[in-house]
Chain A
Amino acid sequence: MKRKLVELAHARSGDKGDTANIGLIALKPQYYPLLVKHVTAARVARHFRGMITGKVERFELPNLSALNFLLHGALDGGGTISLKTDAQGKVFSTALLRMEIEVRK
């Protein structure tokens, strides 16, 4: 069955220049392997197609049941240069939570 990430994880994001980060945190530790398996850097890059101009990097934090993503070229130049409402990438995290992954029942 398909499940939206919002049912499996919570998240927070921030910025470094033109890069947005998304920390994706499993709501329960047993969900963490699902995130590791399905929410790959390539999948996240596809999810944000049209919204970012650079690559996506992924880092694993099993100690926090969390993944950290760096989305490069996400903020129209970032900081003060950006013309975006979300110039500092504060709510990029919630856009990731829209992603659906296939979960065995």
Chain B
Amino acid sequence: MTSPAATVRVAGGQGFWGDWLEAPYRQVTGGAVDYLMMDYLAEVTMSILQKQKSRDPARGYATDFITQMERILPTTVKRGIKVTANAGGVNPRGCAMAVAEVARRLGLGGRLTIGVVTGDDLLGRLDGLIARGHALQNLDTGRPLHDVRDRVLSANAYLGAAPVVEALQRGAQLVITGRVTDTGLTLGPLMHAFGWAPDAWDRIAAGTVAGHIIECGAQCSGGNCLKDWKRIPDMANIGYPIVEARPDGTFDLIKHPGTGGRIDVASVTEQLVYEMGDPGEYITPDGVADFTTIQLKQAGKDRVRVSGITGKPATDKLKVSIAYFYGYKAVGTLVYVWPDALEKAKAADRIVRQRLKHLGLQFEAIHTEFVGANATHGPLALQDVDVAAIPEVQLRIGVRARDEKPVDRFTREIAPLILNGPPSVTGFAGGRPKPEEIVAYWPALIDKRMVQPAVELIQV
């Protein structure tokens, strides 16, 4: 290995599958970066991809990633920027093959090595694991996976940074993974570049925190930032975040010059507390970070220095993300208008519920919200409001059941209200709501020894 770099820049390019398509290109062309990391996998994404793969074995990965790579590969190869992405979903090898084909078409044959990380997919091994005493109990309810075994659609262990590091060390310029943690996609490059040992717990924690800050894209650089939000400049051109790390584990959060958004202590703090559990124990496969040790300091315009982070050894477990079929739901909406908008919507809700009851339909839940009045703040919302003055309210009724039949019947109970319910109602242009399959999430733990990550290289 060459001597460790003085600083290394890891740019965040996608915070989820569906994030801004312009961001990755801007990140690799807007200024100097060494790595680009892209996060594609939310909890239910894996089950959607598993379904696609069952229909076509060549599918099962984030297809947008291929288009994205077609656009940025010429730049990343020319500038020597390495890319880490968990876009491989449940078919990292298929994803890599598709990227390789694009690369050859771009004339990059012989100039690109792709690393493929697998080993996270446990779907085909579930029965064996259960038989050998791994109950895969639901972390929230304590129930064994056996309860829903016949409805399981996908099961993936969260891998950490280790296989990403291995792929980089063996010469990969592009690392495509399945269910690798979001943070591992940033920590991996830093461990590789600085030669951090897997048990350098404070460094591991620092790289993990760096990864957590940029894993949601612009949500740390001014996007969705409440403090002084009106004064955040040029959001149309928002700059996605870049970690500028040093070998000692301290790092700065920055963005490219000339971009919009804002990087300050407030914007970074908001991202740090996002989805936070116990801040003393942020657990990943790589180690346990203590968020109560993080020190933030404004070190220049749009530059926040992060230091002081300590960590503890990794646990002997990996988290497993399991998706299973749960049932059906549907949501119907109508808009009621002044005068008495809220009162009319409430009357309509009572009517629907009465009719559903008369039909003898069984639901696990019926949930009503009055959007524009109390949908998100509940009873807190109307404390200082002149209810009679509310100009319009969207009635939003949702139902959930294990069977499709009552849900489907419910979807036919919304439109009739237009003619046979309270007055001044509109907003049904979208037509009858559609019953939707619910794929639910089953979080579990498994012994680390049961999961062996594998790295494979593809020469383009």
Contact = CB atoms under 8 A, between A and B. Distances in A.
Interface of A: 10-18, 21, 23, 25, 27, 47, 49-51, 59-66, 68, 70, 76-81, 83-86, 91-95, 98
B17 interface: no
A17 B443 contact: yes
Nearest to B271: A12
B426 interface: no
Given A63-B295, A78-B441, A94-B376, 9 more contacts: A12-B270, A51-B380, A64-B272, A64-B291, A66-B273, A79-B44, A83-B367, A92-B376, A98-B380
Given A47-B380, A61-B292, A85 B365 contact: no
B331 A83 contact: yes
A95 B396 CA distance: 20
B82 to A, nearest CB: 29
User: 4 smallest A-B Cβ distances: which pairs?
Assistant: A23-B273, A83-B398, A14-B275, A83-B367
A16 B326 contact: no
A91 B375 CA distance: 11
A85 B270 contact: no
A59 B382 CA distance: 29
The residue among B276, B326, B329, B443 with the most chain A CB atoms within 10 A of its own CB is B276
Contacts of B292: 60-63
Contacts, number: 127
A94 B377 contact: yes
A40 B331 CA distance: 36
A7 to B, nearest CB: 12
Interface in B313-344: 326, 329, 331
Contacts of A77: 365, 440
A15 B294 contact: no
Contacts of B44: 79-80
Contacts of A83: 329, 331, 365, 367, 398-400
Interface in B378-403: 378-381, 383, 396, 398-400
A86 B377 CA distance: 10
B277 interface: yes
Given A59-B280, A63-B293, A83-B365, A98 B377 contact: yes
A85 B377 contact: no
A12 B293 contact: no
B295 A85 contact: no
5 contacts: A14-B275, A25-B227, A61-B291, A62-B292, A80-B441
A23 B272 contact: yes
A63 to B, nearest CB: 6
B428 interface: no
B379 A85 contact: no
Contacts of A59: 276, 278-280
Interface string B245-276: 00000000000000000000010011111111
Given A59-B279, A63-B293, A95 B376 contact: yes
B369 interface: yes
Contacts of A49: 379
Contacts of A61: 273, 279, 291-292
Contacts of B381: 95
Contacts of B379: 49-51
Contact of B376 (A10, A16, A60, A91): A91
A63 B279 CA distance: 11
A68 B277 CA distance: 8
Contacts of B441: 17, 78-80
B226 interface: yes
Given A27-B227, A83-B365, A85-B369, A18 B378 contact: no
A15 to B, nearest CB: 7
Given A25-B269, A80-B439, A85 B279 contact: no
Contact of B377 (A16, A21, A78, A95): A95
A56 to B, nearest CB: 14
